[in-house]
Amino acid sequence: MTHHAVINIGYKVDHDNYMVACHTGLLCYWSGAIRRAVYRQRRPVTNIWINFREATGRDVYIWPQVIQWCYTGKLLDMTTCSDAIIGSYDDIEMLWNAVISLEMYELANYIMRLVFVKYTWGLSARTDATVKCNPRDCPFEASGAFHVFEYNRRGYGSTRLFLFIEDLIKARAPLARETRRQASQATIDSWLSFTRRDEGFREWIEGLGGLDHDNDAAVLPTHFNQWRYYMVPTLSRLSPTLQHWAVRHNENIGREGEELALAADWDRRGECVHAAYQWVFEEVLD
């Protein structure tokens, strides 16, 4: 097995199998979950199958973005040629959750900055993105907040995004008077639709002040001075230089034997607010 081995990440969408390849060293460097899974094996790992719990068939969107960031340090939505307006609806929240589960904290913080952009400027949620808009009045549609309500209320690390959305809605209602004036009809309809059809979501929003409250004195969580509260602490690498890390990595993967495929299962440990989640990797048997 070479020290520049490639690992294939497999996932299933609508009963079809897909794969995307990445150098093993890159994934092991950035992802704590994958690094542990690969290093613990006694045989060389060449394939890992992972489907994200909340992606509902959108893994085909997640994995190419993750791999691209490993190589380039950027995410890119080809419809806009910019990663400042990536995806739509709950894409960016879903992507943050995926990389948090993989323990890719540098990428998670990169994505969180894009979350701040989304909820500061609301470009895709406005009726006219060319009109000047105060960040306190910029609209945002409901699907991102609903995704966070569904998936981020508990679990290590994932609550940071939940706390951000809570602080945001406490500070500025989604359909306050000036925000509603700037919002597209689709954005307004999204809030009315989600709060009508899901009682728990509606009660959560009402507990934060409701759809149209006015709290001009509150500090916006999107303000630069507040960002640190929502970023994930990152640990320094164990080795002093990338070269030293590469040597240790090669020692960990330089194994002989039949190639091995792993499948990941999203496992919950504990109950209620104390529950913790992690990927559990097991060998795929023929």
Distance separating alpha carbons of residues 92 and 273, to the nearest angstrom: 24
- Counted residue by residue, the chain has a size of 286
pTM of the model as a whole: 0.90
Position 187 pLDDT exceeds 90: yes
Long-range contacts of residues 80-84, Cβ cutoff 8 Å, at least 24 apart: 83/114, 84/114, 84/117
Q: How confident is the model at residue 179 (pLDDT cuts 50, 70, 90)?
A: very high
Question: What is the percentage of the chain residues whose pLDDT exceeds 90?
Answer: 57
| Cβ atoms 41, 111 nearer than 8 A | no
Instruction: Answer whether 85's CB lies under 8 Å from 97's CB.
Output: no
Q: Which band of pLDDT confidence, cut at 50, 70 and 90, is reported for residue 166?
A: very high
Rounded Cα distance, 35 and 10, in Å: 16
Please tell me the predicted confidence (pLDDT) of residue 77. 61
First to last CA, the chain: 22
229 confidence band (pLDDT: 50, 70, 90): very high
Instruction: Say if residues 80 and 136 touch (Cβ distance below 8 Å).
Output: no
User: Which pLDDT value is given to residue 2?
Assistant: 47
The answer to whether 12 and 18 have CB atoms below 8 angstroms apart is yes
- Segment among 46-55, 70-79, 206-215 with least mean pLDDT: 70-79
Report whether pLDDT(94) > 80. Answer: yes
Q: Is the pLDDT of residue 74 over 50?
A: yes
**Amino acid letter for position 67:** I
Tokens representing residue 224 in the block: 């630069």
Q: Which residue has the higher pLDDT, 147 or 242?
A: 147
Instruction: Give the pLDDT band of residue 246 (cuts 50, 70, 90).
Output: confident
Contact at 8 Å (CB) between 121 and 139?
A: no
Q: Is the dihedral of CA 177, 178, 182, 183 positive or negative?
A: negative
Tens of pLDDT along 18-63? 999 999 999 999 999 999 999 999 899 999 999 887 767 788 888 9
Using DSSP bridges, classify how beta strands 6-13 and 45-49 pair: parallel, antiparallel or unpaired: parallel
Between residues 175 and 123, the one the model is more confident about: 175
Task: Decide if pLDDT at 152 tops 70.
Answer: yes
Written as one string, the DSSP assignment of 52-66 is: -TTTTTTHHHHHHHH
Neighbouring residues of 81: CB distance < 8 A, sequence distance ≥ 6? none
